C-alpha cells in the first residue's frame, strides 16, 4: 500500500501546506484517537511539541480532533521527543504525540505518534490510521456528553529531568567538568542545561533562546560548528549538540573535534561489553554507519547488525533480536535499557560516565576508530522517480563494481524530504569523491 501521509518518521512537511495543515492534523487526531480508543476507561493522549511557530496551530487542531472522538488531552508544551515517549508510558496514556520536524528548519513540522508502550507506531498501524483519514471519520464522533477534555500539565519538566538523572551511574558526578550544551533553540532548551547543572557540571548553554523561527538555525547537531567553537573559547571539557527535538546528539571533545553517532555507539558498546551490560554481543545500526565502526566492533568481538535508515527501524530490529544498543551515524542513539527511542541527553550522559570512569581526557577516550572516507550528498528533485530510470541504475551498478569489497555505495530517496541521498565510502578518498560527483550529475540530469 502506497502511503500518502506517513513517511519514515511519522508525518512531515512544510507548515500550512499539505500534509502539515490544521485540517489534516484534525483528521489525524480523530483517526488516531479512534484507533487507540479501546476498553471502557476514559482514554487520554499526551501531546508535546518543539519550539516551531506552527506548533501552536497543529497542537490546537490535534487537540480538537482527539476531543471530538472522546479522548482527554494532556498538553505538555515544548518537551524532547524521548520525554513524550517516556511520559506516554509512565502516565498510562493510550497514545502520545510529538509535534516536531526534528532537525529540519522551522518552516517544516511533523507528527510523530507513540503507542501506550512508548514505542513509535509500526508501518501497519500507521497505514490503518491513514485509512481512517481517507475513508471518513464522521462515524467515530463522540456524543455531546462523551466529548473529551483538555488540560495543561505543568510538572513534566521535573519528571523528565529526574528520569534522565537516574540513568547516570550512582556515585558518578559531573563536578569539576565544564560542559557546553547546544539545545538548537529547540525542545530541550530548558531541561538539558538543568540536568547537567543538577549533576554537578558548570554549564555553558547555547541555542536556548527559541523565538519560533530559529530552531536548528546555525546551531544544534546539524550545525555543530557553534558548539565546537564554544568548547574551544570556554576551554570546556566536552560539548553536546542536540537537534530540535533532542532525540539525537553529536559530541565534541576538549579540543573541539566532533564525534558522530558511530563513535558514540562504539564508546558505549565497548564500555557496556566490559561491564557486562551489553546484550546480544553487538550493536544495531543503519546502512549509513561507517565501515570503520563495523571493523572496530569486529576487532573487540562484537557484531554490527545493519537495518534500513530510520531510528524506528533500528528500534524494531533491537526489539526483535534482543539488542540494547543501537543507533544512527546522525546521532540517534537508542539505549533500550532506559528508553524506547533515541535520547540525546541519556546518550551523552553515558559517554560522560565512560570518561569519568577512565579518568582520561575525552580526546583519549571517545575516538575509538578511524572512519573510512565517506561522502554524502543530497540531490533535490521536484517530481518523478529518477532512481528508476535505466541510465541511473546502470551508473549505480557500474560504480558498485568499481568499489568491489573495498567500499560501499548507498543511493536512496529520503523518507522525510524530496531529496535523493548519494553516499559512498571506501579506502580511496579520491575515488569516493569522483563516484559521488558523477552519480549526483547523472541523477540531476535524470530529474531535470
355 inside domain: no
pLDDT of residue 418: 83
**pLDDT one-digit tens code per residue, 299-325:** 999 999 999 988 999 999 999 999 999
What is the band of 2 on the pLDDT scale with cuts at 50, 70, 90?
Answer: low
Query: Same domain, yes or no, for 325 and 388?
Result: no
14 inside domain: yes
Query: Same domain, yes or no, for 28 and 144?
Result: yes
Average per-residue pLDDT for the chain:
95
Query: Same domain, yes or no, for 94 and 33?
Result: yes
Q: Which of 54, 68, 100, 102 is catalytic?
A: 102
Domain stops at, among 154, 171, 192: 154
Provide the terminal-to-terminal Cα distance of the chain, rounded to the nearest Å.
28
1 inside domain: no
Query: Same domain, yes or no, for 173 and 129?
Result: no
**Number of domains comprising the chain:** 4
Mean pLDDT across 266-272 = 98
**pLDDT one-digit tens code per residue, 228-264:** 999 999 999 999 999 999 999 999 999 999 999 999 9
3-class state of residue 421 by DSSP = strand
Query: Same domain, yes or no, for 138 and 220?
Result: no
352 inside domain: no
Is 102 tagged catalytic? yes
Query: Same domain, yes or no, for 334 and 439?
Result: no
357 inside domain: no
Query: Same domain, yes or no, for 246 and 264?
Result: no
Q: Which helix (H) or strand (E) holds 267?
A: helix 261-275
Where in the sequence is the domain holding 411, given as residue range(s)? 374-447
Q: Lay out the sheet containing 419-426: strands in order across.
A: 374-380, 419-426, 407-413
332 inside domain: yes
User: Is it true that the peptide bond before 431 is cis, omega within 30 degrees of 0?
Assistant: no
- DSSP annotation string for 122-171: PHHHHHHHHHHHHH--GGGPPPGGG---EEE-S-HHHHHHHHHHTTSPTT
| Spatial contact of 335 and 268, defined as CB atoms under 8 Å apart | yes
Domain stops at, among 291, 312, 347: 347
Q: How far apart are CA 1 and CA 174, in angstroms?
A: 50
What is the band of 376 on the pLDDT scale with cuts at 50, 70, 90?
Answer: very high
CATH code of the domain in which 280 resides: 3.40.120.10
Query: Same domain, yes or no, for 272 and 218?
Result: no
Query: Same domain, yes or no, for 51 and 136?
Result: yes
**pLDDT one-digit tens code per residue, 96-143:** 999 999 999 999 999 999 999 999 999 999 999 999 999 989 999 999
368 inside domain: no
Query: Same domain, yes or no, for 291 and 246?
Result: no
Query: Same domain, yes or no, for 335 and 291?
Result: yes
Q: How far apart are CA 5 and CA 85, in angstroms?
A: 21
141 inside domain: yes
Domain stops at, among 154, 173, 202: 154
Query: Same domain, yes or no, for 141 and 16?
Result: yes
Amino acid at each position: 500500500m502506497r502511503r500518502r501521509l506517513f513517511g519514515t518518521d511519522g508525518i512531515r512537511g512544510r507548515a500550512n501546506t499539505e500534509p502539515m495543515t490544521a485540517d489534516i492534523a484534525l483528521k489525524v487526531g480523530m483517526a488516531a484517537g479512534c484507533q487507540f480508543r479501546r476498553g471502557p476507561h476514559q482514554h487520554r493522549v499526551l501531546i508535546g511539541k518543539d519550539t516551531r511557530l506552527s506548533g501552536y496551530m497543529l497542537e490546537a487542531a490535534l487537540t480538537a480532533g482527539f476531543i471530538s472522538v472522546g479522548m482527554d488531552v494532556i498538553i505538555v508544551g515544548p518537551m524532547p521527543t524521548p520525554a513524550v515517549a517516556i511520559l506516554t508510558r509512565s502516565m498510562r496514556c493510550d497514545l502520545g504525540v510529538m509535534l516536531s520536524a526534528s532537525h529540519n528548519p522551522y518552516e517544516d513540522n511533523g507528527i510523530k505518534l507513540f503507542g501506550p508502550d512508548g514505542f513509535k507506531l509500526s508501518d501497519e498501524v500507521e497505514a490503518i490510521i491513514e485509512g481512517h483519514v481517507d475513508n471518513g471519520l464522521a462515524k467515530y464522533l463522540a456524543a455531546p456528553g462523551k466529548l473529551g477534555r483538555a488540560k495543561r500539565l505543568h510538572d513534566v519538566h521535573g519528571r523528565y529531568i529526574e528520569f534522565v538523572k537516574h540513568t547516570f551511574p550512582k556515585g558518578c558526578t559531573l563536578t569539576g567538568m565544564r560542559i557546553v550544551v547546544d539545545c538548537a533553540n529547540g525542545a530541550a532548551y530548558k531541561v538539558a542545561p538543568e540536568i547537567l547543572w543538577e549533576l554537578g557540571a558548570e554549564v555553558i548553554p547555547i541555542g536556548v533562546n527559541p523565538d519560533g523561527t530559529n530552531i536548528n538555525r546555525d546551531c544544534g547537531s546539524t550545525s555543530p560548528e557553534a558548539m565546537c567553537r564554544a568548547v574551544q573559547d570556554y576551554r570546556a571539557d566536552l560539548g553536546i549538540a542536540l537537534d530540535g527535538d533532542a532525540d539525537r546528539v553529536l559530541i565534541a571533545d576538549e579540543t573541539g573535534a566532533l564525534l558522530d553517532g558511530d563513535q558514540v555507539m562504539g564508546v558505549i558498546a565497548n564500555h557496556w561489553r566490559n561491564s557486562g551490560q551489553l546484550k546480544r554481543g553487538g550493536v544495531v545500526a543503519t546502512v549509513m554507519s561507517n565501515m570503520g565502526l563495523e571493523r572496530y566492533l569486529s576487532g573487540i568481538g562484537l557484531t554490527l547488525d545493519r537495518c534500513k535508515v530510520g531510528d524506528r527501524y533500528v528500534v524494531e530490529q533491537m526489539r526483535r533480536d534482543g539488542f540494547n544498543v543501537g543507533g544512527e551515524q546522525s546521532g540517534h542513539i537508542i539505549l533500550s535499557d532506559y528508553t524506547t527511542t533515541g535520547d540525546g541527553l541519556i546518550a551523552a550522559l553515558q559517554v560522560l560516565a565512560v570518561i569519568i570512569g577512565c579518568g582520561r581526557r575525552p580526546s583519549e577516550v571517545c575516538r575509538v576508530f578511524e572512519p573510512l572516507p565517506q561522502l554524502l550528498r543530497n540531490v533535490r528533485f521536484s517530481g518523478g522517480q529518477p532512481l528508476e530510470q535505466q541510465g541511473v541504475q546502470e551508473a549505480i551498478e557500474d560504480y558498485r563494481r568499481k568499489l568491489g569489497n573495498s567500499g560501499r555505495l548507498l543511493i536512496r530517496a529520503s523518507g522525510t524530504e524530496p531529496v535523493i541521498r548519494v553516499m559512498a565510502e571506501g579506502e580511496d578518498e579520491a575515488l569516493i569523491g569522483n563516484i559521488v560527483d558523477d552519480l549526483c550529475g547523472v541523477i540531476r540530469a535524470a530529474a531535470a
